[in-house]
């Protein structure tokens, strides 16, 4: 490749499109450097914060501009309004997880900078996944997200549970990635292309879908993406990994990984045949059922939230099915997914974060019994957790309610009324376990003889993160117009 052709690959538009990613990559290198230089924690904290906010600002610039860069770098990466919104969402999820992680670790506090470096690598991977327009870029993004998460899951390496979570996540994640690669290889074998462009026009697309080898490849790729969003029947790893990982890392997994995989799924839905809509809707319902019914019997709140996350993935998958079946209102499925995921990032990030906060103070919070009487002991935290539970359950006036409403209306418009009705019923089942947490906190007293905990003052970072999450949940629930207009 001569220098001239390099210029056509990386021109001004490519620079604008990739600027949010470049900022993170630079911040990552500086952060690594700061861990070996004699500088204080405050410098690396500022660096982390500045990098994340800078990236979000650059995404916002793309979002605000009339002329989006579009497909750049040899049509392999797409930067438009949608990818900019996803990017801001990823930064938000990472920021929330990071703020809660600041006072979380005890034995591993000396490695906080390494922890931050790993955490900062994940949004880079997510952005690549969301903007990917060919399979290489998606693969790089997937691994840039997954490999740091394997290490983060096992970050409390003196605890068996944490190492176990890391190892399980690693083995299954790598197994899934291998499926993705073999599937891509099969797609490449039949189409001669690894770009999503190959599926762009209808004639070529139906020719490809007639080839059994290409269908097998698409099935393998879809299976690995379904694994990442924890859809039925690939959801069994989730509770163990979520329970064993350090709670701030769980917050990052629950919000970031899922959002990134959905972002790609919305882009790549073109490679699925229209006839797949019913199967996807069926998978969506089974995922919701598997998540909700398993969550009902959990006594560990972290595990319960893991199953609830599975159920939420199922709900969102219904929007994907709706868009496959052909929602007459163009772009509504995308809008619903963005809104739903936005509300979920704020809610689940806040909920897992508050659990991390309580855990640090030595409360036995990961169990339901440990939460009993929290309303008397720490009313503000209990109130915030209540708000998040109500939003996860889809109670009106919270962001979660409107997200559900938008998703189910996509399904109804796409003639999937039965699926939507069953989905609503399953959401009612879900209220059973969300309300159990609320009842435990406010209506039951602390069990006799349990050790009294001295509640340390809550760190500023965690207070700020909780306030942001709570404000977002309420704002999206009460005044959603602004969000919907931005999309």
User: Among residues 245 and 292, whose Cβ is nearest to another protein?
Assistant: 245
Q: H-helix or E-strand containing 78?
A: strand 77-79
Minimum distance from residue 160 beta carbon to another protein (Å) = 5
Minimum distance from residue 158 beta carbon to another protein (Å) = 8
User: Among residues 193 and 409, whose Cβ is nearest to another protein?
Assistant: 193
Minimum distance from residue 238 beta carbon to another protein (Å) = 9
| Residue that is written with structure tokens 């059922």 in the block | 289
User: Among residues 161 and 364, whose Cβ is nearest to another protein?
Assistant: 161
Query: Which residues make Cβ contacts (< 8 Å) with residue 5, sequence separation at least 6?
Result: none
CA distances from 243 to 37, 154, 283, 483 (A): 35, 12, 24, 33
Cβ-in-10-Å burial (0-12, 13-18, 19+) of 25 comes to middle
User: Among residues 306 and 469, whose Cβ is nearest to another protein?
Assistant: 306
Neighbours of 26 (CB within 10 A): 12
Total residue length of the chain: 487
Per DSSP, 156 falls in state S
Q: In sequence order, what DSSP letters do the residues of 196-248 get, joined into one string?
A: GGGGSSHHHHHHHHT-HHHHHHHHHHHHHHHHHTT-TTS-THHHHHHHHS-HH
Minimum distance from residue 178 beta carbon to another protein (Å) = 4
* Residue 81 CA neighbour count, 13 Å, CB half: 12
Token pair for residue 417?
């009324």
User: Among residues 150 and 483, whose Cβ is nearest to another protein?
Assistant: 150
User: Among residues 261 and 441, whose Cβ is nearest to another protein?
Assistant: 261
Report the DSSP beta bridge partners of residue 349.
Answer: none
Minimum distance from residue 237 beta carbon to another protein (Å) = 7
Neighbours of 364 (CB within 10 A): 16
Minimum distance from residue 156 beta carbon to another protein (Å) = 10
Report the DSSP beta bridge partners of residue 77.
Answer: 72, 132
User: Among residues 9 and 464, whose Cβ is nearest to another protein?
Assistant: 9
User: Site residues (CB under 8 A) for another protein?
Assistant: 135-136, 139-140, 143, 147, 150-151, 154, 157-158, 160-161, 163-168, 170-171, 174-175, 177-179, 181-182, 184-186, 188-189, 192-194, 236-237, 239-240, 243-244
Minimum distance from residue 407 beta carbon to another protein (Å) = 28
């Amino acid at each position: 490749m001569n220098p001239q052709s390099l210029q056509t690959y990386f021109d001004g538009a490519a620079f604008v499109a990739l600027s949010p990613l470049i900022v993170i990559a630079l911040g990552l290198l500086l952060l690594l450097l700061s861990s070996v230089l004699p500088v204080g924690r405050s410098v690396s904290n500022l660096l982390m914060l500045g990098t994340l906010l800078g990236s979000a600002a650059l995404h916002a610039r793309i979002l605000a501009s009339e002329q989006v860069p579009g497909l750049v770098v040899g049509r392999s990466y797409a930067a438009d309004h949608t990818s900019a919104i996803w990017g801001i969402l990823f930064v938000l999820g990472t920021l929330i997880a990071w703020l809660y992680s600041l006072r979380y670790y005890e034995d591993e506090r000396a490695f906080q900078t390494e922890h931050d470096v790993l955490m900062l690598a994940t949004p880079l991977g997510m952005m690549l996944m969301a903007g990917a327009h060919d399979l290489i870029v998606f693969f790089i993004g997937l691994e840039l997200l997954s490999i740091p998460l394997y290490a983060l899951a096992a970050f409390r390496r003196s605890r068996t549970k944490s190492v176990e979570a890391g190892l399980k996540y690693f083995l299954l994640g790598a197994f899934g990635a291998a499926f993705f690669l073999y599937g891509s290889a099969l797609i490449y074998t039949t189409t001669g292309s690894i770009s999503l462009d190959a599926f762009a026009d209808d004639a070529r697309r139906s020719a490809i879908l007639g080839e059994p080898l290409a269908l097998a490849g698409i099935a393998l790729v879809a299976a690995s993406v379904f694994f990442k969003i924890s859809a039925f029947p690939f959801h069994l790893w989730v509770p163990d990994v979520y329970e064993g990982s350090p709670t701030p890392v769980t917050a990052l997994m629950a919000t970031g990984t899922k959002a990134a995989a959905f972002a790609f799924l919305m882009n790549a839905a073109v490679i699925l045949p229209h006839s797949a809509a019913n199967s996807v809707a069926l998978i969506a319902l089974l995922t919701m059922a598997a998540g909700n019914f398993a969550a009902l019997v959990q006594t560990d709140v972290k595990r319960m939230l893991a199953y609830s996350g599975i159920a939420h993935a199922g709900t969102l998958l219904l929007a994907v099915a709706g868009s496959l079946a052909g929602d007459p209102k163009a772009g509504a499925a995308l809008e619903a997914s963005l809104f739903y995921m936005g509300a979920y990032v704020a809610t689940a990030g806040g909920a897992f974060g508050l659990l991390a906060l309580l855990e640090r103070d030595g409360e036995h919070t990961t169990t339901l019994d440990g939460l009993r009487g929290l309303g008397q002991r720490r009313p503000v935290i209990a109130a915030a957790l209540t708000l998040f539970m109500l939003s996860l359950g889809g109670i009106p006036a919270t962001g979660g309610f409107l997200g559900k409403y938008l998703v189910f209306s996509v399904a109804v418009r796409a003639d999937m009324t039965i699926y939507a009705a069953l989905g609503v019923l399953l959401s009612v089942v879900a209220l059973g376990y969300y309300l159990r947490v609320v009842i435990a906190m406010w209506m039951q007293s602390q069990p006799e003889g349990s050790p009294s905990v001295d509640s340390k003052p809550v760190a500023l970072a965690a207070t700020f993160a909780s306030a942001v999450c709570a404000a977002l949940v309420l704002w999206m629930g009460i005044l959603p117009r602004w969000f919907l207009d931005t999309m």
